[in-house]
Amino acid sequence: MKATLKKKILRHDLLVGTIISLSSPEVSEILSLSGLDWLFVDLEHSALSVREAQTILQAATPKTHCVVRVPSNDEIWIKKCLDIGAEGILVPQIRTRSDAQRAVQLCKYPPKGSRSVGVARAQGYGAKFQDYVASANDETAVILQIEHMAAVENIEMICNVSGIDALFVGPYDLSASMGKTGLTTDPDVKKAISHVTQCATRAGIPLGIFGVSEEAVKPYIENGYTLIAVGIDTMLLGEAAGKISNLLKS
């Protein structure tokens, strides 16, 4: 039986994926056949709808694990994205302990949380309802995004919240919150990320990060990060096409 995404995260398997921002299910299907471990379906910064996200999940799974980043720490968004069958939810802009507690609560059915009960794709449209509701709390990955200096300042309290399966560092928004937009290798930004790394490691919480290239994420993999997102579907397409064009015209 295939291990769940959550199980792989918690045992610190190295999981390499990319961000999905295009609504084309064919793009996601192609990427799912490429050997990537997971796809990061982005509803925060893309034009994707929940319906389009479901189509992406249908194209990519069960070959490849899928996590959906919701636009905000919001009950409606989280329950809709779980109900379409996301194996994990990535909640952006976590800044405080109470933010982290709310995100965990919204991802869990009672009595562990407050997720409402519906019937949709995740529950096999009803056919697998009892099995799903019995296992969802244990099998759904709750991933919280650390991408603001306020989160760095509160990271020890955030790490003490029960139910967090991974912390995912967003270096670009973090750099922006420090007045250093895009300067992800700035010493102060790196120092802030190092503080997150140390606190999460002490708490035994797996870590993830986004980078635009292999070179950007390699140092973090060497430092124990295991949930890795490299590039974006649009960037990968553009870079591949640009490489061909440059090679043939040079």
Catalytic residue set: 45
- How many C-beta neighbours within 10 Å does residue 80 have? 20
Label residue 239 left, alpha or beta by phi (over 0 means left) and psi (-120 to 50 means alpha).
alpha
CA 215 to chain centre: 20
Contact 69, 145 (CB under 8 A): yes
CA distance linking residue 166 with residue 168, whole number of Å: 6
- How many C-beta neighbours within 10 Å does residue 47 have? 10
